[in-house]
Homo-oligomer: A and B are copies of this chain.
Amino acid sequence: MTELSRKLLEAAGATKDEARIVTESLIRANLAGVDSHGVLRIPSYVQGLHNGTIKAGAKHEIVRETPSSLLLNGNWGFGQVVCADAVDRVIAKAEETGIAAAGVFNCNHIGRLADYTQTAVQHDMIGFVTVNSDPCVAPYGGRKAILSTNPLAYGIPAAREAPIFVDFATSIAAEGKVQAALAKRQQLPPGWIVDSSGWPSTNPADLYEPPLPPVQAKLAGALLPAGGYKGYGLGLVIEILAGALTGSGCSDEVTSSLTNGVFIQVLNISKFVPLQMFKERVDKLIRLIKNSPKAEGFDEILIPGEPESRQQEKRTKTGIPVPESGWITLRTLCKEHGVESEVLKKG
């Protein structure tokens, strides 16, 4: 699958390095079970390369820099490429100064946020990544989509236990889950969306203007924030960190779900407390939680990141499942670009 992805992206115009970095990011997402950010994204990236929204070979630039801060112009290259560099740069800064942050603008879709926090964790730092995108979430008390799903991710290293990876949208659910329910003709749980008149609805079709997804995904209604005013407040902060502090733009200034304003921050643990002491405290907290009594209906308590690391272990052995519709699209793309790959015979 790695071979197919690299060949396809290169055939569509990506440089060898871009194709490698983006492919590795997609495959890591699939291995972690986050298929929404995996190889199913290849068609939209290929399309972006063809219509020029993704500029192959673009070089990102440092616009402003201090000992602990960085503003990067992505120049509309691949989001994964500029952000992989951004996280390396803030890690290098935090080696000296204890904490560093980068903002990125003119940036295409960066993929799975936890990916970047993982790099921080590998350097014994705490990573924090957050993005904004186009509006699809109503403020608490409203019924029009003004905020984006404003997800955030934290990565925290442990000693013997697996690291903690928190990664969630501040909306009650990602928009992709509404599309998935629509495709399966399922109702939504109450409280997820309001329709175009602001009425609560459990019909996924009520989120969209016709023609419905997969033809287009233009919103008529809105997703609701997680936890009412709390998710709304946190989403608003993220909209501003990722959209205003980076200069990318907020809300209706963002016109495509394929772009991101990005805020990345790392904390160098050892500049605060001895690293081993920190990691042992995290281990102890993880074990306290894992060994504590379970609520009615739960067999175990999961640590954030645990479901993904279990999937990774499993899928590293069994491979990545791709739905039939995905194979059809990938086969067509390969044919159009004259790409041949062993994996197509298996799929």
A interface residues with partner B (beta carbon < 8 Å): 64, 66-69, 71, 96-101, 103, 126, 138-144, 146, 154, 156, 164, 166, 168, 170, 172, 194, 198-200, 226-227, 229-234, 236-237, 239-241, 243-247, 249-252, 265, 267-269, 271-273, 277-278, 281-282, 284-285, 288-289, 292-296, 298, 300-304
Q: Are B96 and A99 in contact (CB under 8 A)?
A: no
Q: Are B293 and A143 in contact (CB under 8 A)?
A: yes
Q: Are A245 and B273 in contact (CB under 8 A)?
A: yes
Whether A139 contacts B100 in the complex (CB less than 8 A), given A231-B227, A250-B284, A281-B249, comes out as no
Find A245's partner among B66, B140, B269 (CB 8 Å cutoff). B269
Whether A141 contacts B285 in the complex (CB less than 8 A), given A69-B98, A234-B166, comes out as no
Question: Which one of A99, A154, A247 has the highest number of Cβ atoms from chain B below 10 Å of its Cβ?
Answer: A99
Bound-complex Cα distance A172 to B154 (A) = 21
Interface of A is mostly: mixed
Bound-complex Cα distance A36 to B254 (A) = 40
Q: Are A296 and B71 in contact (CB under 8 A)?
A: no
Q: Are A100 and B68 in contact (CB under 8 A)?
A: yes
Give the chain B neighbours of A300 by CB distance below 8 A. 141
Q: Are A166 and B100 in contact (CB under 8 A)?
A: no
Find A282's partner among B143, B146, B226, B240 (CB 8 Å cutoff). B240
Q: Are A227 and B226 in contact (CB under 8 A)?
A: yes
Find A140's partner among B66, B100, B268, B301 (CB 8 Å cutoff). B301
Find A285's partner among B154, B244, B281 (CB 8 Å cutoff). B244
Bound-complex Cα distance A288 to B251 (A) = 9
Question: Which one of A68, A142, A232 has the highest number of Cβ atoms from chain B below 10 Å of its Cβ?
Answer: A68
Bound-complex Cα distance A144 to B236 (A) = 32
- In the complex formed, the residue of B with least CB distance to A145 is B292
CB of A243, distance to nearest CB on chain B (Å): 7
Find A126's partner among B97, B138, B245 (CB 8 Å cutoff). B245
Whether A138 contacts B295 in the complex (CB less than 8 A), given A166-B233, A250-B281, A281-B249, comes out as yes
Bound-complex Cα distance A240 to B277 (A) = 12
Give the chain B neighbours of A243 by CB distance below 8 A. 281
Find A156's partner among B168, B237, B288 (CB 8 Å cutoff). B237
Whether A68 contacts B68 in the complex (CB less than 8 A), given A164-B236, A292-B139, A293-B198, comes out as yes
15 contacts between A and B (CB under 8 A): A69-B272, A71-B273, A97-B97, A99-B101, A126-B240, A140-B301, A142-B293, A142-B295, A144-B293, A154-B233, A168-B233, A170-B230, A230-B231, A234-B234, A246-B272
Whether A244 contacts B199 in the complex (CB less than 8 A), given A141-B294, A142-B293, comes out as no
Give the chain B neighbours of A252 by CB distance below 8 A. 288
Q: Are A239 and B285 in contact (CB under 8 A)?
A: yes
- In the complex formed, the residue of B with least CB distance to A231 is B227
Find A141's partner among B233, B246, B302 (CB 8 Å cutoff). B302
Give the chain B neighbours of A282 by CB distance below 8 A. 240, 244
CB of A100, distance to nearest CB on chain B (Å): 7
Bound-complex Cα distance A229 to B267 (A) = 24
Q: Are A146 and B278 in contact (CB under 8 A)?
A: no
Bound-complex Cα distance A168 to B232 (A) = 11
Give me 12 other A-B pairs in contact (C-beta within 8 A), A66-B97, A67-B97, A146-B288 excluded: A69-B98, A69-B99, A71-B272, A99-B100, A143-B292, A154-B237, A170-B230, A194-B295, A236-B304, A245-B278, A246-B273, A250-B285
